Structures are given as structure tokens and as C-alpha cells.
Amino acid sequence: MLLLKDLPTKNSLLKLSARYPNADVEAIQEFATILSVASDLSVALDRLLSEHGLMQGRWWVLILLLREDDLTSTPSVLAEKVGVTKATMTGFISGLQREGLVSRLTHLDDGRMVTIKLTSLGQQKLDQVVPDYYRKVGLLMSALTQAQRFSIIETMKILDSNTDAMK
């Protein structure tokens, strides 16, 4: 992920608007700020997870398996829910399997079909990480009032529903 740390100032954007007169300078500055904050949040999550020997991709696989009643899912369903390719998911699963956090179960009827299951070691790992995750996310979010939280979420949903404008 590319992180832009030097956000454009209003003056720098105004200079660009002389060359590109259709530029909505305020929209561009606000968009860059949103991207920067989202990147910072992702980096903060990476830092938290790395303290526990995890990366985001593997973390989300473990969490998704935990959410299932039988602690299992298929690689393709996991890939879709995480938003990665099947090949990337295979890499996540292979790493988790090497660490004993998940297991691959081959179907008896069709040896090509595989189910991924959270192991007891994987559950123990989550039992170590989740309380720290909850605590730190709670501390982060405590900087906002309930009204601010609601407003941000509603605003982000509106932006999310309009991402096709970037096509």
C-alpha cells in the first residue's frame, strides 16, 4: 500500500487548478485526507497484529473461520469475503497451516474439494489477540463521541456507494 504522508495543501492544489481548471480543489484535498487516514489506520492495525505474529490477511482468515458455527469455510468463500484472489488466499492458508492455526480437510467424495478449519491452536492464538485488538480499537474509537462515530459511518457508507464514480 502506498502511503501519502505529504498531503497537498490548499495552495498547492490551487496552483494545479490553474493548469487544470475543472479541478474541485476542496474535494481533492478531502479525498487525499480520507485516503491518508485510512492508510494510517491500516498501518496501525498491521502494527498491532505484528505484535502477535500476524498480518491482516491471515488475521481476517482466522476471524472469518471463528465466525462460522463449525469453524470451517472453503478457500473460495474466504477469498471472496477477504477481497483477495484465490491464489493470495492459498498463500494465507498455507502460512496459517504451517503454523498449525488452520487445517485443510479434503472431502471424501471429491478429493479436489477442500475445507479450511480453525484448529485449537488457531483458537488459542485468537484468544491471545482478540482481547488486545478489542482494547486498542476501543481506545482508538474513544476519541470520538457516539454522534461522531455515527456521522463518520454514515458518511463512509455514502462514499462507498459512490465508488463507481472512480471508474
SS3 letters across 87-140: HHHHHHHHHHHHCCCEEEEECCCCCCCEEEEECHHHHHHHHHHHHHHHHHHHHH
Strand order in the sheet with 72-73: 72-73, 114-118, 102-106
CATH number at 97 reads 1.10.10.10
Per-residue model confidence (pLDDT) at position 3: 63
Does 159 share its domain with 108?
Answer: yes
Q: How many domains does the chain have?
A: 2
The domain boundary residue, chosen from 50, 70, 85: 50
CA distance 35 to 41: 10
Which residues, in sequence order, are bridge partners of residue 129? none
Per-residue model confidence (pLDDT) at position 108: 76
Does 83 share its domain with 137?
Answer: yes
Does 144 share its domain with 88?
Answer: yes
Per-residue model confidence (pLDDT) at position 149: 97
Does 58 share its domain with 46?
Answer: no
Tell me the mean pLDDT per 10 residues along the chain, length 167: 69 84 87 89 95 95 97 96 94 96 87 90 97 97 97 96 94
Per-residue model confidence (pLDDT) at position 71: 97
Does 41 share its domain with 71?
Answer: no
Does 30 share its domain with 7?
Answer: yes
Per-residue model confidence (pLDDT) at position 84: 94
Per-residue model confidence (pLDDT) at position 2: 53
CA distance 35 to 37: 6
Does 111 share its domain with 70?
Answer: yes
List, in order, residues 6 or more apart from 145 with CB less than 8 Å away.
Answer: none
Read off the pTM: 0.83
Does 144 share its domain with 64?
Answer: yes
Say if residues 102 and 119 touch (Cβ distance below 8 Å). yes
Does 45 share its domain with 80?
Answer: no
Per-residue model confidence (pLDDT) at position 65: 98
Residue 16: domain span: 1-50
Does 30 share its domain with 62?
Answer: no
Q: In 3D, which of 76, 78, 28 has the Cα closest to residue 57?
A: 78
Does 97 share its domain with 73?
Answer: yes
Element (H, E) at 17: helix 10-19
Does 46 share its domain with 110?
Answer: no
